Amino acid sequence: MSIRDIYSRVAAIESMIATQAGSPPAAPTTSFANVLAAASTSSGSSVVAAAESQVGVTEQPPGSNDGPQIATYRSAVAGAQPGQPWCAYFASWAAAQAGTPLGPNGQGLGSVSEIASWASSTGKLLPASATPAPGDLILFGGEHVGIVESVNADGSLTTIEGNSGNGVTRVRRSPGEATGYVQL
């Protein structure tokens, strides 16, 4: 069950309660579903904002999987090593900046397979057929992960990806390229 399904169910329950009572309650004026939705949106917006602030960061030297800012991304993952592919480090760093750290203990995750496994075990893994929200992670098999920045009117996705072209880049993707999503 996705969080979007939960919002719908909570709204339906609130409506049933209001109908059975004869009139909607005077207080509170904000539904629980709306509070949940706002919290989720806020988290997604914060992940996107952290990622957007890094667009243009590059490896030093190019092709090295290293550099001063890449070292910062590594610091978000316990046990991360210099010179390793860093797309998962970047995703872990952005999530941590937004206050939604990845991993069972918030220690960050250093590989796409670790992210997918953790997401599956926590109910955060969405199928490739799902429509992602800004701030969700996009998975490309076990090889690469990015952050969904937006879902465009034509159905394409704009992502921000670490370790793409030796840096942090904004990429336009077809949803068909995704193998799944992780809801943060």
Question: Which amino acid is residue 70, in one-letter code?
Answer: I
* Domain-embedded: residue 145: yes
Q: Give me the sign of the Cα torsion angle 103, 107, 112, 113.
A: negative
Backbone angles phi, psi at 18, to 5 degrees: -65, -40
CATH number at residue 135: 3.90.1720.10
For 156, the domain range is 46-182
Band of residue 43 on the pLDDT scale cut at 50, 70, 90: confident
Which comes out higher in pLDDT, residue 17 or 68? Answer: 68
* Domain-embedded: residue 103: yes
* Domain-embedded: residue 175: yes
How far apart are the C-alpha atoms of 14 and 58, rounded to whole Å?
A: 49
Looking at mean pLDDT, say which of 4-8, 32-36, 80-84 comes out highest. 80-84
Band of residue 161 on the pLDDT scale cut at 50, 70, 90: very high
* Domain-embedded: residue 13: no
Biggest CA-to-CA distance, the chain:
68
pLDDT at 49 over 70: yes
Peptide bond into 28 cis (omega under 30): yes
* Domain-embedded: residue 150: yes
pLDDT, mean of residues 15-37: 51
**pLDDT value, residue 13:** 57
* Domain-embedded: residue 155: yes
- Total structural domains in the chain? 1
State the pTM of this model.
Answer: 0.79
pLDDT, mean of residues 69-83: 97
User: pLDDT tens, 129-140?
Assistant: 999 999 999 999
User: pLDDT tens, 90-134?
Assistant: 999 999 999 999 999 999 999 999 999 999 999 999 999 999 999
pLDDT, mean of residues 130-159: 97
* Domain-embedded: residue 90: yes
Burial group, residue 151, by CB count within 10 angstroms (0-12, 13-18, 19+): middle
* Domain-embedded: residue 33: no
